[in-house]
Amino acid sequence: MPINVLFLAAEAEPFVKIGGLGDVAGALPDAIYQTARTLSAEEEVDIRVVLPFHHAIKQKGFRPDFLGEFSVKSQSGPISCQVYTIKKDNIPVYFLDGAPIDDESPVYASDPVFDGFKFIFFSLASLQLPDFLDWKVDILQANDWHTATAIYALKTLDYPTKNLANTKTVHTLHNLPYMGNGVHQAMEAYGIPPTQDKRLPDWARHSPLPLGLLHADKIVAVSPNYAKEILTPEFGSGLQDFLKTISDKITGILNGLDTVSWDPATDPLISQNFSVDILHLRSKNKQILQNQFDLPANEQIPLLTLISRMDPQKGIDIAIKGLDYCQDLTWQAILLGTGNPEVEEMARRLERKYPDRVRSVIDFDSKLAHQLYAGADIFMMPSRYEPCGLSQMIAMRYGCVPIARNTGGLADTIEHIGRKVNGGTGFLFDQPYPSVFAKTIERTLNLFNKTTLWRQVQVNGMNADYSWEQSARKYIDLFKTLLHKDK
């Protein structure tokens, strides 16, 4: 008998992607399906993805089949939900639509009340989908606050139907600070009361994410290190004491990387393809970047890059100030990203101060991102916190050596270079201060000048295995444990 998994998410590639959740929800379900089949001829996971039928999805021209409709209860009366389906690779995908999923709204609105009505409607509708399909669910997997209400309602309200009677729940935690605060009005509108569990702080008892975490059978943080960090005051967002009381059900499974889309040997967006075996060809990409951005075309000058949302969480200010501290060293830098206007202006100011070696591109440019991974020597990722992160994995796969803060998934994926290179793949620093970051840049530049050792670091990173198969195996084991099946 297969393990039936209902996978709920707010976004998923290729239908809609706003952030890292879109990458995960787009890749993980099929990785679980494929990996289960390779583990045993008798192994099977029937995993099905459920998404809100966002306006952004409709605009892309997907043509899903209409299956029918049902009603979702609310305090003001039933609300109709329409069900559509489409196949992505081997995975059935269901789109749920209805009045709260407004045809003109963005995927995530700036108004928490608006988002509350949309995602709570979606979460509750998802619980009625199995009976609509007449499909028994073994595992319900929710992601972040947008679908956390499904777990809370399943465990506490009159929602266990015949196809959800014995369902186990997994809550994947991508970013703890985003809890769905401010949506209590929507929860009241759907008859969802706050919890009385005193382990939660008063302010968290009517927020979807804490309620989902409270009632989930297992909580999966998106890296092993992040699973530990959320138990501390620095990263716990005020829930650390509560999380300690349920630490026995918290685990960490590292997100994977789409190694087909991100492959320097076949990437159509870069000028010169290369691999570990022909790594010397990589230098052409650097030369093209230097020419494109009117920087001195010199292979011996280390080229640093930063590709990120311009946000304080990402530590962009740490990188910018750190580079300023390194003005007496030889380097070039290209910064790519958009976001917080104040952080964007910091990047522009750095370019104005160092017009001969800094370029700031305030934009979201996917093609340029690929080219920077493929041509820059050093990748800067000084995040104040980073639950998992994909950019450092991409950088290493493309031979771009990372400098990153020793936190979350960055610590789990980057093998720090100590006194000797050995299996090192990059440099980690502890305190989120520009002065500390600057010292790490200096260490990195010193190694860059040692050509043989630098090449070894690049090879180490390119050979690291961060494919989704590794993550999928751990999820499958987790499902079996929850269902008391032999591994």
Q: For residues 118 and 186, give the distance between their C-alpha atoms in angstroms, rounded to a whole number.
A: 9
Q: For residues 28 and 343, give the distance between their C-alpha atoms in angstroms, rounded to a whole number.
A: 33
pLDDT of residue 41: 59
pLDDT of residue 160: 63
Per the listing, tokens 């950019």 go with: 391
DSSP characters over 47-61: EEEEEE--HHHHHTT
What is the reported pTM? 0.93
Per the listing, tokens 């302010």 go with: 203
Per the listing, tokens 């890292």 go with: 20
Q: For residues 473 and 36, give the distance between their C-alpha atoms in angstroms, rounded to a whole number.
A: 8
pLDDT of residue 42: 65
Per the listing, tokens 């079996």 go with: 480
Q: Is the dihedral of CA 151, 156, 158, 162 positive or negative?
A: positive
Cis peptide before 264 (omega within 30 of 0): no
Quickly name the fold that domain 3-256+468-482 has: Rossmann fold (3.40.50)
276-463 shares the fold of 3-256+468-482: yes
Q: For residues 281 and 314, give the distance between their C-alpha atoms in angstroms, rounded to a whole number.
A: 31
What residues have CB less than 8 Å from 159, skipping those under 6 apart? 124, 127, 153
Question: Could you tell me the two tokens for 396?
Answer: 């290493």
Other C-beta atoms closer than 10 Å to the C-beta of 194 total: 15
Question: Could you tell me the two tokens for 228?
Answer: 């530990």
CATH 3.40.50.2000 describes domain 276-463: yes
Other C-beta atoms closer than 10 Å to the C-beta of 78 total: 10
Q: For residues 271 and 282, give the distance between their C-alpha atoms in angstroms, rounded to a whole number.
A: 9
Strand order from edge to edge, sheet including 358-362: 358-362, 332-337, 303-307, 378-381, 401-405, 427-429
Torsional class of 300: left (φ above 0), alpha (ψ -120 to 50), beta (otherwise): alpha
pLDDT of residue 19: 86
Closest CA to 380 of 460, 326, 299: 326
- Burial environment of residue 238 by CB neighbours within 10 A (0 to 12, 13 to 18, 19 or more): middle
Per the listing, tokens 């890059």 go with: 305
Spans of all domains in the chain: 3-256+468-482, 276-463
Contact 34, 472 (CB under 8 A): yes
Q: Which secondary-structure segment (H or E) carries 31? A: helix 20-39
Q: For residues 117 and 109, give the distance between their C-alpha atoms in angstroms, rounded to a whole number.
A: 11
Distances (CA, A) of 296 to 56, 109, 299, 362: 42, 43, 9, 21
Contact 260, 248 (CB under 8 A): no
Residue 193 DSSP label: P
Closest CA to 243 of 311, 176, 158: 176
pLDDT of residue 157: 85
Q: Which secondary-structure segment (H or E) carries 140? A: strand 139-143
Q: Give pLDDT tens digits along the chain (487 positions).
A: 899 999 999 999 999 998 889 999 999 999 999 999 888 756 799 999 999 999 999 999 899 999 999 999 999 999 999 999 999 988 999 999 999 997 778 999 888 889 999 999 999 999 999 999 999 999 999 999 999 999 999 999 876 678 999 999 999 999 999 999 999 999 999 999 999 999 999 999 999 999 999 999 999 999 999 999 999 999 999 999 999 999 999 999 999 999 988 999 999 999 999 999 999 999 999 999 999 999 999 999 999 999 999 999 999 999 999 999 999 999 999 999 999 999 999 999 999 999 999 999 999 899 999 999 999 999 999 999 999 999 999 999 999 999 999 999 999 999 999 888 899 999 999 999 999 999 999 999 999 999 999 999 999 999 999 999 999 999 999 999 999 865 4
Buried b / exposed e along 140-175 (16+ C-beta atoms within 10 A) = bbbbbbbbbbbbbbbbebeeeeebbeebbbbbbbbb
**Pairing between strand 332-337 and 401-405?**
unpaired
Q: For residues 27 and 32, give the distance between their C-alpha atoms in angstroms, rounded to a whole number.
A: 9
